Chains A and B, each alone.
Chain A
Amino acid sequence: QLACPLDLGCHSVRALGTNAAAHYLRGELARFLRESPYQVNLLMAGHDEEDGPSLYFIDYMASMHKMKMAAHGYGSYFSLSILDRQWRKGMPLDEGLKLMDMCLEEVQRRLLLNTPKFIVKMVTKDGITVVRGPGSSTEEKAAMPVDQ
């Protein structure tokens, strides 16, 4: 059991659920939207015992939506199309990673800026693992040369 990571003066010893964290974050972004807005788009992914894995898409304007697959930025124009076509419910892990690789490959191919290295992390009931990039067990799988 983790202590409440947000020091709100509460004595909670329950881990903050993904749903709660996402709503909290949305509330903060919404509050600051009309004061001094945070210019960050984010995706919040977490695993809970009751709800299983969940993914929340939060805009810089604090629009939030729980989604099965999501992307931000120019890369999203390509990633979302690939995900729409390939993603299915209950995909096994290796297929999911292949799908992730496909998206990263497309982003590297299609966008002007060279982005050779990505970090991919995975959240499961056992915690967070680095799957691609520094600290992962498959070090050099991250970059696919663009001209191949």
Chain B
Amino acid sequence: MGDSIMSYNGSAIVVMVGKNCVGIASDRRFGVRQQTVATDFQKIYKMHDKLFVGLSGLATDAQTMYEKLKLRLNLYKLREERDIKPSSFSHLIASMLYERRFGPYFVEPLIAGLEGPENKPYICGTDLIGAPVFTNAFWSPELAQNLVRHVRDFVASGFGARGFVEVMAQCLLSAVDRDCLSGWGAVVNIITPD
């Protein structure tokens, strides 16, 4: 039962770096405390061809956050006439979250993208007030950390795209099997240079 507002709706999202690709996977459950309301809820959004963002935490804030991000990105695209870099995007999210430092959005976003002309894999996660974590391997939000601890055994840096799907799917599924507030299926998105 959610005594934490972050686990009120229940969600598990993982980002991982593979060989020349990045993956982001989420479960599909939308719940209200212990009751499951829907099993086809979207938590990962495509911002542009080389950038995905996964929003875990409170569903209403995740939806509001996505709408705000879509607005900011559309304005960015109009002004800059190009797609935003994943690293810039993660700084954007971090500052948007910190703006609400003392009344935060209860979302922990995860960013996955390919950066620059060499399509270098980039992943980032932040906490609900925008403290970013840049890693090379994988990340998942605070509550799911315990669940994906075993992901360390799976670190997929050597996997190309096809094997990678399997790795990510297995990681997420074994993680959500241990959490009654997430699950009901999974979506795995892999970004490759093509």
Chain A residues within CB distance 8 Å of chain B? 26-27, 29-30, 33-34, 57, 59, 61-65, 67, 70, 76-77, 80
Contact = CB atoms under 8 A, between A and B. Distances in A.
Nearest to A76: B35
Contact of A34 (B35, B67, B103): B103
B63 interface: yes
B59 to A, nearest CB: 4
Contacts of B41: 65
Given A59-B32, A65-B30, A33 B60 contact: yes
Interface in B55-99: 58-60, 63-64, 67
Contact of A26 (B32, B37, B63, B103): B63
Contacts, number: 40
Contact of A64 (B32, B35, B63, B103): B63
Given A63-B59, A77-B35, 13 more contacts: A26-B63, A29-B60, A59-B32, A61-B59, A62-B60, A63-B60, A63-B63, A64-B63, A65-B38, A67-B37, A70-B37, A70-B38, A80-B35
A27 B59 CA distance: 13
B63 A30 contact: yes
Contact of B37 (A27, A30, A34, A65): A65
Nearest to B103: A34
B38 A62 contact: no
A33 B59 CA distance: 13
A69 to B, nearest CB: 10
Given A26-B63, A30-B63, A30-B64, A61 B58 contact: yes
Given A34-B103, A77-B35, A61 B60 contact: yes
B9 interface: yes
A27 B71 CA distance: 14
Nearest to A34: B103
Nearest to B58: A61
Interface centre among A33, A34, A65, A76 (most CB of B within 10 A): A65
Contacts of B32: 59
A76 B34 CA distance: 13
